[in-house]
Chain A
Amino acid sequence: MSTSTAPSTTAPTPAPARRVGAAGRGTPRRRNEKAAYIFLLPWFVGLLFTLIPFGASLYLAFTDYNLINNPNWIGLDNFEEMLTDEDLLQALKVTGIYTFVGVPLSLLAALGVALALNKGIRGLKYYRAVYYLPSLLGGSVAIVMLWRYIFGNQGIVNAVLAFFGIDGPSWVSDPQYALSVLISLHVWTFGSPMVIFLAGLRQIPIMYYEAASIDGASRWRQFVSITMPLLSPILFFNLVLALIGSLQTFTQGYILSGGTGGPSGSTLFYNLYLYIEGFQRFDMGYASALAWLLLMIVAMFTAANFLMSRFWVFYDN
């Protein structure tokens, strides 16, 4: 679709051709242009795999559809149903808590460790590797199952607590604590924002700090007046990425609860609820509506983030 419309909407064709003609040759540039579309051919086909489903899911959001019968237009019924859907409310709550507790904690850890590592330290490579490794493993089924065991009734967390004379709860099967198990897993994977912070810290010219210390600025003052402003674009970038990623969590909730979102919906992440509605109850119209609601939420958060960034993100140039 876009393949055919895109060229006609832009600048008139003869302009570049004439410029090339002035140089004496018309063919290579035009051949080059045709070649560009050949290079892009797989991407154009792939774009159809994105744009068509994108439109289709908006349509399905207004239908009743179960994969077997044809979609049946029901107007805003799906969205009306959302207003009284208690599971949806629970899913929003779980995802919200996970995001607003987990993201700040992991970004704080990432920033703290990045600052400590940026002080010129021997063995930086090894520290960075150790801290980074968990973020590669955090999304795997094996690690979530490990967490399920570690926080289990007789797991090692409770063994450590028992050593201090504390009787630990059964973290995984208690609705009050199940989500905190996954938040701890989230924090465990602070390595990837840390690496981004570290790269950002290294971009700050050392002479700023030298000038500041000649002027007698304290360490804290230097951090507030130099490091934080210059690092704020990186913090912003990390925040946007972490929010988007966290709102779309699925595997962790699925594995910890065995696919149910339990106990009592305490790990019912939004995408897990969407999966249950769409692929276990085969209410695909409602699931599409859920997908669009989440898209709106993600877009809203990202937009809010960008708007607020004007007040606290500092761009050097």
Chain B
Amino acid sequence: MALMTQIRQRSRAIAAESEDTYFEKLGSNSRTRFLRHVILCAVGAIMLYPLLWMLASSFKPSSEVFADLSLWPSTWDFTNYSQGWNSLNHPFHLYLWNSFVVVALTIVGNLASCSLAAYAFARMQFIGKKPLFALMLGTLMLPGHVLLIPQYVIFNLLGWMNTYLPLVVPNFLATNAFFIFLMVQFMRALPSELDDAARIDGCGPFRTFFRVILPLCVPALATTAIFTFISTWNEFFGPLLYLTDSSLYTVPLALRQFMDSEGQSAWGPMFAMSVVSLAPIIGFFIAGQKYLIKGIATTGLK
């Protein structure tokens, strides 16, 4: 325990130090600094504008949406939400629930299977470790579409069409090499004395993993969970392929229906449900920004 807090304190101290030396660098004169802020704010405003405009439009009556650039509705109208919620085959909360089920199972699967594999690769000795690790990195680079058709055939033979199994089961089998790699990198950085100490205290490999290493990996696990959440929540291709029964649709498939069925007239409800669909991502982003930024800086994930 003491070692753990020590590690934490040190890493925090290093972070704070680099931040400080960083701000000491504030060398440039105040006018260029001001100008830089103006430009950065303007670019940021342009980037956020479409999102804010969509949010505003979701409260505008449909007749007002067209070519109205304002970010403030003249009247606040919530009918888009009630209309959008109920205008598809099923109420929208069903799609939200479906997405939630898929996302939750995917996260659990990724965390469990990838951390197990990562522990073996990062901190255990076994025969064939090097070639197997190379193989793992190889699957990391393999574009998914090459596997697509045979996988579809296999899932079809297994009778998994129109279930969540094709979307969820592979995640319990550590098929997401990105996250294994991320966790391997993280676990390698932990001091090896931890394993030795645990072994002397009588822990077998499983207890060492669950009681000593895994609790220290919370940042890597959090990064994995957040990235998994965002990519699975947005995932369109897999559900499009495997789900045909509309009562099983996830949110992206449901949203697409606004375009298919109602054509040009239903922009208001569509924006309202778009806002609903994006809100969880933005919420996760705000809550987990620290892990996201770190994760992306180390692995280059989206």
Tell whether, in the assembled complex, residue B278 and residue A142 are in contact, meaning their CB atoms are under 8 Å apart: yes
Asked if A248 meets B143 with Cβ closer than 8 Å, knowing A241-B300, A278-B149, the reply is: yes
Measured between alpha carbons, how far is A238 from B296 in the docked complex, in Å? 11
Question: Are B150's CB and A6's CB within 8 A?
Answer: no
B197 to chain A: which residues have CB within 8 Å? none
Q: Are B67 and A31 in contact (CB under 8 A)?
A: no
- Nearest chain A residue, comparing its CB with the CB of B250: A141
Contact assessment for A43 and B173 in the assembled complex, using a CB-CB cutoff below 8 Å: yes
Whether B189 sits at the interface, judged by CB under 8 Å, is no
Q: Flag if B230 contacts A136 (CB, 8 Å).
A: yes
Interface residues in A, total, Cβ within 8 A:
100
Query: How many residues of chain B get a CB closer than 8 Å to chain A's CBs?
Result: 104
Q: Is B192 an interface residue (CB 8 A)?
A: no
A56 close to B (CB within 8 Å): yes
Most chain A CB atoms below 10 A, which of B131, B151, B271, B296: B296
Contact B146 A121 (CB under 8 A): no
Of the candidate stretches B2-10, B36-44, B74-82, B86-94, the one touching chain A is: B36-44
List the count of A-B residue pairs having beta carbons below 8 Å apart: 275
The reply on B14 being an interface residue by CB < 8 A is: no
Residues of chain A lying within 8 A (CB to CB) of residue B33 = 121
B302 touches A127 (CB 8 A): no
A279 to B289, CA, bound (A): 38
B153 at the interface (CB under 8 A from A): yes
Q: Per DSSP, are chain A's interface residues mostly helix, strand or loop, or mixed?
A: helix
Do B274 and A146 touch across chains, with their CB atoms under 8 A apart?
yes
Which listed residue, A127, A134, A147, A294, touches B145 by the CB 8 Å rule? A294
With the chains together, A274 CA to B69 CA distance in Å? 38
Chain A residues closer than 8 Å to B1, beta-carbon distance: none
Query: Which residues in chain A, 124-172, are within 8 Å of chain B measured between CB atoms?
Result: 127-137, 139-143, 145-150, 154-156, 158-160
User: 13 more A-B contacts (CB under 8 A) besides A37-B126, A136-B285, A145-B256?
Assistant: A10-B131, A31-B204, A42-B113, A49-B154, A52-B154, A60-B150, A133-B51, A134-B51, A140-B281, A142-B252, A143-B274, A143-B278, A145-B270
10 shortest interchain CB distances as A-B pairs: A46-B173, A199-B297, A53-B150, A142-B274, A56-B150, A6-B128, A36-B126, A39-B120, A35-B205, A43-B174
